[in-house]
Structure 1
Amino acid sequence: MIRRILGKAVLAGALGFSMLAQAAGPVIQVYKSATCGCCGHWVEHLKGQGFSVKATDVPSPAEYREKAGIPAQYGSCHTAMVGGYAIEGHVPAREIKRLLKERPKAVGLAVPAMPMGSPGMEGPRKDPYDVLLIQADGKTSVYQHYK
């Protein structure tokens, strides 16, 4: 009797932990400069959209971009990894969630440079920008356009 009760308690705890982990959202590892304020704002954007974020300050985020297979011309101020994909720059959480749902064959997503109005770069104006899907050969296509 005690074994059966204990077994049910362990199962209930495991199910509860699994549901809690799912509710917290995917874990995204962010490599950023310690002195970049917009990187911190982007991390807060991700957390606000349900991602669990592990942010690591590094001396050169460009090294992580290169390791992730993101060509330099699509670079920005931080690089992240989630679900086997690289995320470069101020990519909206909505597009990261879409990427993880659709699972295309790709290196990841990038928002080159640091466009005003993108997540983490909020301000008095909003510039149009593209979220690029980056293929293994370095070719890109527009994954989503923002006006």
Structure 2
Amino acid sequence: MAKKVTRQVNAEIFDFSELDATEQSLVSQARQAVSNAYAPYSNFHVGSVVLLANGEKIQGSNQENAAYPSGLCAERVAIFSAGANYPDEAIVKIAIAAKPAKANDYVMASSCGNCRQAMMEYQSKQSSEIELLFVQPNDQIMKTTVRDLLPFGFDSESLLKFQP
């Protein structure tokens, strides 16, 4: 007989003004990073900021390419830059903002599957949870975690199950 498995996704919605000073700074920088996006094909601009345990903040923005698979999302630009420049520093939080080119307000744009998997890898590597801050319309911010965003994620622990 089949057994039902349920995983609950947890997230909270806050007004920007309810965030602490560090989170407000991250969200503001993610919004700023949106303007650095190179998105001539989708016209969908995304900015991201990674906060490291040492206090460093690394910005990223989506970078498109006419050969579509060659582009990279804002989250991975920031995460990979952090990993390349600060390989031993844990990622504490990531703020993500998105806005269509001609829109007046930000839209909620959850990270794609590739970005979720990349975040899961870094979370597994550092053995500590990464908090996510998604900018939504009307100055709202959704807080969640990588584990909540990817509830059936595949990480290094998953591979250990198959080791002899």
**What TM-score range do you get, normalising by the shorter chain?**
under 0.3
TM-score by length of 2: 0.23
TM-score by length of 1: 0.24
Relative contact order higher in (CA < 8 Å, ≥ 6 apart): 2
